[in-house]
Amino acid sequence: MFATLRIPRNPLLRLFILFSALWLAACEPIPGGGAGPSLGAGEAVPVALLVPSGSGETNDEFLATSLRQAAELAISDLNGVKIDLRIYNTGAQPAQAAAMATKAVDEGAKIILGPVYSGSANAAAVAVADRGVSVLAFSNNTDIAGGNLFVLGPTFPNTANRMASFAVSQGKRRILVVSEQTLAGQVGASAIKTAVGRFGGSVAGEVSFPYSQTDVVNAVPQIASRVKAGGVDALFITSDAGGALPLLAQMLPEQGVNPAVTKFIGLTRWDTPPAAMALPGLQGGWFALPDPNLNERFSARYQTAYGSAPHPIAGLAYDGIAAIGALVKSRNPDPLGRAALTQPSGFVGVNGIFRLRPDGTNERGLAVAEIRDGRVVVIDAAPRSFGGFGF
Per-residue pLDDT of the chain (391 residues; tens, 9 = 90+): 333 343 333 333 334 334 433 333 344 455 555 777 888 777 899 999 999 999 999 999 999 999 999 999 999 999 889 999 999 999 989 999 999 999 999 999 999 999 999 999 999 999 999 999 999 999 999 999 999 999 999 999 999 999 999 999 999 999 999 999 999 999 999 999 999 999 999 999 999 999 999 999 999 999 999 999 999 999 999 999 889 999 999 999 999 999 999 999 999 999 988 888 998 899 999 999 999 999 999 999 999 999 999 999 999 999 999 999 999 999 889 999 999 999 999 999 999 999 999 999 999 999 999 999 999 999 999 999 987 444 3
The answer for residues whose C-beta is within 8 angstroms of residue 360's C-beta and 6 or more apart is 29, 142, 144, 145, 146, 147, 149, 150, 151
DSSP letters for 216-260: HHHHHHHHHHHHHTS---EEEE---TTTTHHHHHHHHHHTT--TT
CA–CA gap between residue 105 and residue 131 (Å, rounded): 8
CA–CA gap between residue 257 and residue 114 (Å, rounded): 43
The crossing angle, in degrees rounded to 10, of helices 292-306 and 315-329 is 100
CA–CA gap between residue 141 and residue 184 (Å, rounded): 10
Cα end-to-end span (Å), the chain: 40
| Amino acid making up residue 354 | F
Q: Cβ distance 211 to 180 under 8 Å?
A: yes
Dihedral angle computed from the Cα positions of residues 304, 307, 313 and 317, in that order, rounded to the nearest 10 degrees: -70
CA–CA gap between residue 364 and residue 152 (Å, rounded): 9
The predicted pLDDT at position 3 comes to 36
Length of the chain as a residue count: 391
Q: Cβ distance 223 to 178 under 8 Å?
A: yes
The predicted pLDDT at position 331 comes to 80
Which 3 state secondary structure label does DSSP give 367? strand
CA–CA gap between residue 105 and residue 135 (Å, rounded): 11
Residue 174 is given by DSSP the state E
The predicted pLDDT at position 388 comes to 46
Which 3 state secondary structure label does DSSP give 106? helix
Q: Cβ distance 210 to 5 under 8 Å?
A: no
| Amino acid making up residue 138 | F
Q: What are the residue ranges of helices labelled H in the chain?
A: 14-20, 58-77, 94-106, 118-127, 156-169, 183-198, 213-228, 245-254, 292-306, 315-329, 338-341
E strand or H helix that includes residue 209: strand 202-209
CA of 60: how far to CAs of 174, 305, 307, in Å?
41, 21, 19
Burial class (CB in 10 A: 0-12, 13-18, 19+), 78: middle
The answer for residues whose C-beta is within 8 angstroms of residue 46's C-beta and 6 or more apart is 84, 86, 107, 108, 109, 110
The predicted pLDDT at position 35 comes to 77
CA–CA gap between residue 200 and residue 356 (Å, rounded): 25
